[in-house]
């Protein structure tokens, strides 16, 4: 289970239904998260030799919030307003019809992405299928010069040849575990990222 | 949701879910490439026993923008014209491997009957005088977008041949389910025969209502109605029930004017009013594609039909 | 010793009283009713009620013209399984029963069947409501009931002339399908709450009651008996009750579906529930039940209307009206009226036998069960519960709206002129 799908559990050996998941560990405190955002923001600007021609496109729901935060930080130290968009990938997913796939919000990208460098922003990178869908969704909007991926957590278990360019933290997990991301502006709670696991301690895959 | 046969199938939550989905698809329809791959490999057939180029095109456009394959079953010149039964026709179509059947028929209840004969999802695209649920959805979406808020408390008058109108029945139910206060206005010969199934105030004085309304929803008046002794004349209808310039002037400045089309300008609505700034009639058409995408996606793509 | 038949050990109920007795039948005639009788063949009737064979005033046998839906042979078999020993075949065949040759052919075919088939002749040629059918010639063949059933005699002037003319034919009764075609134009179900919900154009109750009121006045004017077919509305029942209080020569029948089903049953849009007059409101159903109980309505008649399966697979508004009735009428009467205490059993039997026999002038039918009377008998097991299975009906058609419904009471044996045509619920030929 990965947080990009927090409202849409993928089929797997365990689900969050029935309160079977229990808290295991806190990975990021609010302060950790603040520092991670700052670092990722600097890395993005450094890698791209400035902020001109950048667009941050967050994936609903929490990726969109992270993109807004990164843009605010970049503006703070670089003095450049980076356009921020939000992308819904539901209609591009490869598991439509296998489970309920509902859009989380309307896609809104305020600028033409053609010729720009797009940084896709999400909270957690897991199988890579969401990013794959996002690449398709983005292509429908135009032809970016380049696409990069920024995430707060890379938890492994990739099923597609996709990697992140900017990572808050690499976190080995078991497949059955759940990375729970809470962001103040989305969840109305203090920022935190936690690992939860099945109550029976089960699960498959290495940690 | 297995099928969409009636607004009754949805309830307030179901309506709002489809309207939210409709908003997402509205964004898609505005893109340079207004298409998503969501229903690749699915087949949608339109089975129209009654001519309605507008509705058929709207559904077919919706299906294509979801990347579904589409087939149109034309009744004239087909086996139906040779007397094949409804059941044989739909079972033959299903045998070709279709996932959804969009049915339009001049008789009430045909989509309901079709569901008893096939496994495919069935969408009611208008059945007799009964229902036209996607019209109600697009009307509700149009209104919701214009008001910014929901429909709660909106005062809506639906004016015209209510009794013989599937649009009036579906739209009344949808508006009322979303919290609006609906009044049906028509000559007594065109009001419902009974209150059942009409969550609305039946009958009202148009001129008294005008200054209180948030929405005026007009229905097409058909010329043949005067032959059936329902109306003395179209001129008298316009005099008593038409949205003339004078009546439109008595509406609040932000009152919206809706019409499901096609319009009889000069009968139920004055041409200047139809083209005026309060009219959202052309938006209704654009929203039609988005809500039909929402319906097809909900039936075929949301996982609801997976065993 | 010639063949003889004893119906042993039942409660004999025939309008003259009720007693437990054996019934001895010889040569097609009842020869004794009493204790300890014996014959060469015995039908067990222990725990059962022995009644006169039932009489249906209103059966559509479809032959000639629509043999894919029913034939005289299959319809008669369905009738006998339902406990009927006599049916009156409606004239809306193709060609219509407005011609002596056609009527004679139907009577001849009926004579070979397992039920006594009588014929209702048309009032007007081709049931078109314009010119009178040869009522006198048909009367010569034994026709007593005249009707354009399926169509209402719309013109008051034509109805008046038909009544005047029929007044010269002894025993003739003019039976009206009381539904004003103009008020019903384009309609397919009862106009009311459910037509409003379903968007199916309606047939208003006033279409029936207005014709009933008019024809009561014409019966008064002419003195000729008028029979109202399949009365379905509270207003019509009230009008008929009023006419009877005034001594007018009117009678009426009601169909089982009009005291069992309501317009709400149309909610599935299944044309099995489409019938003319249509299934009415619950208020109307109550009025029909009360009219049967208080004697306003004289007979229960099936309006057995077979239709080929594919015709009922059309849309509701395009399917033909009508439903099967012969094999379920007795069970519905017992289940819906007698068991809940709405109607005494003896009255129910009278509504199904002696009273319709009297209206149709069938002197041999309807009892009493007494020496010298033709042996048309029905042995009813009032406690038998059974579930209607459309696939097992004897009718050629399958359009019953009661599939899956459990009924209490059914005909166990049916005896036609001394011949056991149904034994233990099985047709014998």
Question: Rounded CA gap, C269 and B118, in Å?
Answer: 16
Give mean pLDDT, residues A92-101. Answer: 83
Instruction: Count how many domains chain A has.
Output: 1
Task: Kindly report the CATH number assigned to the domain that includes residue A86.
Answer: 3.40.50.2020
Return the exposure string of A147-163: e unless at least 16 CB atoms fall within 10 Å of the residue's CB, then b.
Answer: bbbbbbbbbbbeeeebe
Domain that includes residue A48, residue range: 31-171
Is the pLDDT confidence value at A18 over 60? Answer: no
pLDDT at A21: 85
The answer to whether position A159 is within a domain reads yes
Is the pLDDT confidence value at A16 over 50? Answer: no
- Contacting C with CB below 8 Å, chain B residues are 85-87, 105-110, 112-113, 127-131, 166, 169, 192-198
Q: Which of B75, B114, B193 to mutate to test the interface with C (most CBs of C within 10 A)?
A: B193
With CB atoms and an 8 Å threshold, state whether B26 touches A100: no
Assigned token pair, C315: 């849309």
The answer to whether position C94 is within a domain reads yes
- Side-chain half-sphere exposure of C391, counting CA atoms within 13 A: 1
- Compare CB distances from B110 to C202, C268, C315 and report the shortest one's residue: C315
The answer to whether position C366 is within a domain reads no
Which pLDDT band, with edges at 50, 70 and 90, does C119 fall under? Answer: very high
* C303 catalytically annotated: yes
Same domain, C127 and C29: no
Instruction: Give start-end residues of each CATH 3.40.50.1370 domain in chain B.
Output: 7-132+286-300, 133-284
pLDDT at B78: 62
pLDDT at B227: 66
- The size of chain B, in residues, is 307
Same domain, C151 and C76: yes
Q: What is the pTM of this model?
A: 0.90
DSSP state of C99: S
Assigned token pair, A89: 């990938």
Task: Kindly report the CATH number assigned to the domain that includes residue C30.
Answer: 2.30.40.10
Assigned token pair, C371: 């020496």
Same domain, C22 and C57: no
Closest Cα of chain B to C151: distance in Å? 22
pLDDT at B161: 93
Question: Rounded CA gap, B47 and B104, in Å?
Answer: 6
Assigned token pair, B126: 């208008």
Enumerate residues 6+ apart whose C-beta is below 8 A from C185. none
The verdict on C197 touching B (C-beta cutoff 8 Å) is yes
CA distances from C332 to C125, C273, C340 (A): 35, 16, 11
The answer to whether position C234 is within a domain reads yes
Are the C-beta atoms of residues C37 and C369 closer than 8 Å to each other? no
Which segments within C297-357 are labelled E, that is strand? 299-300
Residue A38, Cβ density class (10 Å: 0-12 exposed, 13-18 middle, ≥19 buried): middle
Question: Rounded CA gap, C96 and C422, in Å?
Answer: 31
Mean pLDDT, chain C, integer:
97
Residues of A in contact with B303 (CB under 8 A): 96-101
Same domain, C271 and C388: no
Assigned token pair, C242: 């009023």
Q: Does the structural domain B7-132+286-300 have CATH classification 3.40.50.1370?
A: yes
Are the C-beta atoms of residues C267 and C190 closer than 8 Å to each other? no
Q: What is the pLDDT of residues A110-165, one digit of tens each?
A: 999 999 999 999 999 999 999 999 999 999 899 999 999 999 999 999 999 999 99
Subunits that touch chain B (at least 3 Cβ pairs < 8 angstroms)? A, C
With CB atoms and an 8 Å threshold, state whether B33 touches A140: yes
DSSP state of C276: S
pLDDT at C267: 97
Put simply, the chain A residues between 42 and 81 with a CB less than 8 A from any chain B CB are none
Same domain, C220 and C292: yes
CA distances from C339 to C45, C74, C331 (A): 20, 30, 10
Task: State phi, psi for B3 to the nearest 5 degrees.
Answer: -140, 165
The answer to whether position A21 is within a domain reads no
- Side-chain half-sphere exposure of C112, counting CA atoms within 13 A: 8
Closest Cα of chain B to A108: distance in Å? 8
pLDDT at A204: 46
H/E stretch holding C291 reads: helix C282-294
Enumerate residues 6+ apart whose C-beta is below 8 A from A160. A127, A128, A129, A131, A132
Same domain, C354 and C317: yes
- Compare CB distances from B27 to A92, A96, A106 and report the shortest one's residue: A106
Subunits that touch chain A (at least 3 Cβ pairs < 8 angstroms)? B
Q: What is the pLDDT of residues A20-66, one digit of tens each?
A: 789 999 999 999 999 999 999 999 999 999 999 999 999 999 999 99
Question: Rounded CA gap, A59 and A109, in Å?
Answer: 11
Residue matched to tokens 């699960």: A203
The answer to whether position A163 is within a domain reads yes
Task: State phi, psi for B84 to the nearest 5 degrees.
Answer: -65, 140
Residues of B in contact with A92 (CB under 8 A): 36-38
Q: Helix or strand or coil: residue C141?
A: coil
Q: Which of B1, B13, B24 to mutate to test the interface with A (most CBs of A within 10 A)?
A: B24
Same domain, C70 and C132: yes
Domain that includes residue C396, residue range: 4-49+373-427
The answer to whether position A194 is within a domain reads no
- Compare CB distances from C317 to B108, B193, B197 and report the shortest one's residue: B108
With CB atoms and an 8 Å threshold, state whether C314 touches B85: yes
pLDDT at A10: 40
pLDDT at A202: 55
pLDDT at B269: 94
Question: Rounded CA gap, B68 and A91, in Å?
Answer: 12
Strands C116-119 and C145-147: unpaired
For residue A59, what are the β-bridge partners? A87
Which residue in C303, C347, C364, C389 is the catalytic one?
C303
- Residue predicted with more confidence, C56 or A94: C56
Q: What does R_g of chain A's alpha carbons equal in angstroms?
A: 17
The answer to whether position A20 is within a domain reads no
Residue matched to tokens 């609305």: B200
CA distances from C55 to B186, B191, C192, C253, C330 (A): 51, 45, 33, 12, 11
Task: Kindly report the CATH number assigned to the domain that includes residue C333.
Answer: 3.20.20.140
- Compare CB distances from C197 to B87, B105, B197 and report the shortest one's residue: B197
The answer to whether position A142 is within a domain reads yes
Question: Rounded CA gap, C164 and C221, in Å?
Answer: 9
Mean pLDDT by 10 residues, chain B (307 residues): 94 94 91 90 94 91 96 72 79 92 95 96 96 97 90 96 94 97 96 92 94 96 76 92 95 94 90 88 88 96 54
Residue of B nearest to C204 (CA): B193
The answer to whether position A179 is within a domain reads no
Instruction: Count how many domains chain C has.
Output: 2
Question: Rounded CA gap, A45 and A26, in Å?
Answer: 29
Q: What is the pLDDT of residues C350-401, one digit of tens each?
A: 999 999 999 999 999 998 999 999 999 999 999 999 999 999 999 999 999 9
pLDDT at A19: 56
pLDDT at B79: 63
With CB atoms and an 8 Å threshold, state whether B193 touches C196: yes
DSSP state of C375: -
Subunits that touch chain C (at least 3 Cβ pairs < 8 angstroms)? B
Q: What is the pLDDT of residues C314-328, one digit of tens each?
A: 999 999 999 999 999
With CB atoms and an 8 Å threshold, state whether C196 touches B195: yes
Nearest to C95 by CA among C67, C140, C126: C126
- The size of chain A, in residues, is 207
Are the C-beta atoms of residues C421 and C427 closer than 8 Å to each other? yes
Q: Determine how many CB atoms are found less than 10 A away from the CB of residue B246.
A: 11
Q: Determine how many CB atoms are found less than 10 A away from the CB of residue B249.
A: 9
For domain B133-284, which architecture applies?
Answer: 3-Layer(aba) Sandwich (3.40)
Same domain, C340 and C377: no
Backbone dihedral region of B302: left (phi > 0), alpha (psi from -120 to 50 degrees) or beta?
alpha
Is the pLDDT confidence value at A206 over 60? Answer: no
Same domain, C315 and C386: no
The answer to whether position C107 is within a domain reads yes
Residue of A nearest to B38 (CA): A91
Question: Rounded CA gap, A39 and A50, in Å?
Answer: 15
Return the exposure string of C212-224: e unless at least 16 CB atoms fall within 10 Å of the residue's CB, then b.
Answer: bbbbbebbeebeb
CA distances from C47 to B181, C8, C81, C381 (A): 63, 10, 19, 7
Mean pLDDT, chain A, integer:
88
Can you give the three-state secondary structure of chain B, one letter per residue?
A: CCCECCHHHCHHHHHHHHHHHHHHHHHHHCCCCCCCCCCCCCEEEEEECCCCHHHHHHHHHHHHHCCCEEEEEECCCCCCCCCCCHHHHHHHHHHCCCCEEEEEECCCCHHHHHHCCCCCEEEEEEECCCECHHHHHHHHHHHHHHHCCCCCCCEEEEECCCCCCHHHHHHHHHHHHCCCEEEEECCHHHCCCCCCCCCCEECCCHHHHHHHCCEEEECCCCHHHHCCCCCCCHHHHHHHHCECHHHHHCCCCCCEEECCCCCCECCCECHHHHCCCCECHHHHHHHHHHHHHHHHHHHHCCCCCCC
């Amino acid at each position: 289970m990965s947080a990009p799908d927090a409202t849409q559990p993928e089929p797997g050996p365990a689900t969050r239904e029935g309160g079977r998941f229990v808290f295991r560990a806190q990975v990021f405190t609010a302060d950790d998260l603040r520092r991670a955002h700052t670092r990722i923001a600097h890395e993005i600007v450094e890698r791209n030799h400035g902020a001109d021609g950048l667009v941050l496109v967050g994936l609903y729901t929490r990726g969109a919030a992270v993109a807004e935060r990164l843009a605010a930080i970049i503006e703070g130290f670089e003095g450049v307003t980076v356009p921020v968009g939000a992308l819904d990938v539901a209609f591009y997913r490869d598991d439509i019809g296998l489970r309920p796939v509902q859009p989380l919000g309307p896609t809104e990208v305020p600028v033409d992405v053609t010729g720009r460098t797009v940084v896709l922003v999400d909270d957690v990178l897991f199988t890579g299928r969401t990013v794959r869908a996002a690449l398709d969704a983005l292509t429908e909007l135009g032809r970016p010069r380049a696409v990069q991926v920024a995430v707060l957590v890379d938890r492994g278990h990739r099923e597609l040849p996709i990697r992140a360019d900017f990572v808050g933290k690499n976190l080995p997990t078991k497949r059955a575990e759940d990375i729970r991301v809470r962001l103040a502006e989305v969840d109305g709670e203090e920022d935190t990222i936690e690992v939860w696991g099945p109550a029976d301690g089960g699960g498959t895959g290495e940690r | 949701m297995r099928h969409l046969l009636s607004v009754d199938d949805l309830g307030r939550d179901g309506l709002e879910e489809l309207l939210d989905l409709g908003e997402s698809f509205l964004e898609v329809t505005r893109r340079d490439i207004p298409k998503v791959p969501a229903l690749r490999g699915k087949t949608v057939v339109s089975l129209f026993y009654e001519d309605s180029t507008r509705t058929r095109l709207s559904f077919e456009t919706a299906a294509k923008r979801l990347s579904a394959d589409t087939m149109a079953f034309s009744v004239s010149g087909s086996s139906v014209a040779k007397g094949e039964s409804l059941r044989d026709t739909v079972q033959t179509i299903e045998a070709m491997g279709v996932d959804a059947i969009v049915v339009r028929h001049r008789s009430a209840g045909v989509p309901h009957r079709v569901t008893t004969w096939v496994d495919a999802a069935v969408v009611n695209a208008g059945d007799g005088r009964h229902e036209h649920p996607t019209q109600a959805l697009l009307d509700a979406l149009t209104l919701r977008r214009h008001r910014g808020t929901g429909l709660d408390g909106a005062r809506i008058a639906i004016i015209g041949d209510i009794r013989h109108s599937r649009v009036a029945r579906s739209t009344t139910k949808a508006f009322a389910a979303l919290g609006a206060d609906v009044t049906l206005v028509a000559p007594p010969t065109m009001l419902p025969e009974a209150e059942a199934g009409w969550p609305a105030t039946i009958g009202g004085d148009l001129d008294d209502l005008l200054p209180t309304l948030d929405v005026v929803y007009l229905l097409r008046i058909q010329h043949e109605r005067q032959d059936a002794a329902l109306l003395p004349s179209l001129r008298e209808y316009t005099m008593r029930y038409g949205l003339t310039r004078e009546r439109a002037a008595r509406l609040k400045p932000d009152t919206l004017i809706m019409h499901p089309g096609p319009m009889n300008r000069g009968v139920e609505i004055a041409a200047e009013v139809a083209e005026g700034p309060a009219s959202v009639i052309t938006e209704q058409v654009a929203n039609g594609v988005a809500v039909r995408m929402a319906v097809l996606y909900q039936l075929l793509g949301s996982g609801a039909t997976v065993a | 010793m010639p063949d003889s038949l004893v119906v042993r050990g039942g409660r004999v109920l025939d309008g003259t009283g009720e007693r437990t007795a054996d019934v001895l039948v010889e040569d097609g005639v009842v020869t004794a009713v009493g204790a300890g009788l014996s014959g060469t063949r015995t039908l067990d009737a222990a725990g059962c009620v022995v009644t006169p064979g039932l009489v249906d005033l209103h059966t559509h046998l479809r032959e000639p013209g629509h043999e894919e839906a029913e034939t005289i042979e299959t319809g008669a078999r369905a009738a006998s399984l339902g406990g009927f020993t006599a049916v009156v075949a409606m004239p809306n065949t193709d060609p219509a029963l407005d011609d002596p040759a056609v009527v004679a052919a139907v009577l001849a075919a009926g004579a070979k069947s397992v039920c006594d088939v009588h014929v209702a002749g048309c009032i007007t040629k081709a049931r078109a409501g314009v010119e009178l059918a040869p009522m006198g010639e048909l009367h010569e063949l034994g026709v007593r009931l005249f009707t354009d059933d399926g169509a209402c005699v719309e013109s008051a002037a034509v109805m008046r002339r038909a009544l005047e003319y029929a007044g010269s034919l002894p025993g003739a009764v003019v039976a009206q399908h009381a539904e004003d075609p103009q008020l019903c134009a384009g309609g397919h179900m009862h106009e009311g709450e459910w037509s409003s919900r379903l968007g199916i154009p309606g047939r208003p109750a006033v279409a029936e009651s207005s014709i009933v009121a008019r024809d009561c006045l014409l019966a008064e004017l002419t003195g000729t008996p008028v029979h109202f077919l399949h009365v379905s509305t509270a207003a019509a029942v009230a009008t008929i009750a009023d006419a009877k209080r005034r001594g007018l020569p009117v009678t009426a029948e009601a169909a089982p579906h009009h005291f069992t089903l309501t317009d709400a049953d149309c909610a599935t849009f299944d044309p099995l529930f489409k019938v003319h007059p249509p299934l009415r409101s619950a208020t109307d159903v109550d009025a029909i039940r009360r009219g049967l109980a208080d004697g306003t309505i004289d007979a229960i008649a099936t309006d057995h209307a077979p239709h080929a399966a594919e015709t009922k697979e059309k849309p509701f508004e395009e399917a033909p009206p009508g439903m099967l009735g012969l094999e379920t009428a007795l069970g519905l009467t017992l289940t819906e009226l007698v068991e809940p205490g709405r109607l005494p059993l003896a009255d129910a039997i009278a509504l199904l036998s002696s009273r319709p026999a009297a209206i149709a002038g069938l002197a041999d039918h309807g009892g009493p069960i007494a020496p010298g009377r033709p042996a048309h008998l029905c042995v009813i097991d009032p406690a038998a519960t059974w579930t209607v299975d459309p696939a097992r009906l004897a009718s050629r058609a399958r359009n019953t709206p009661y599939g899956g419904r459990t009924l209490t009471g059914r005909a166990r044996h049916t005896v036609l002129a001394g011949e056991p045509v149904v034994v233990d619920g099985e047709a014998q030929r």
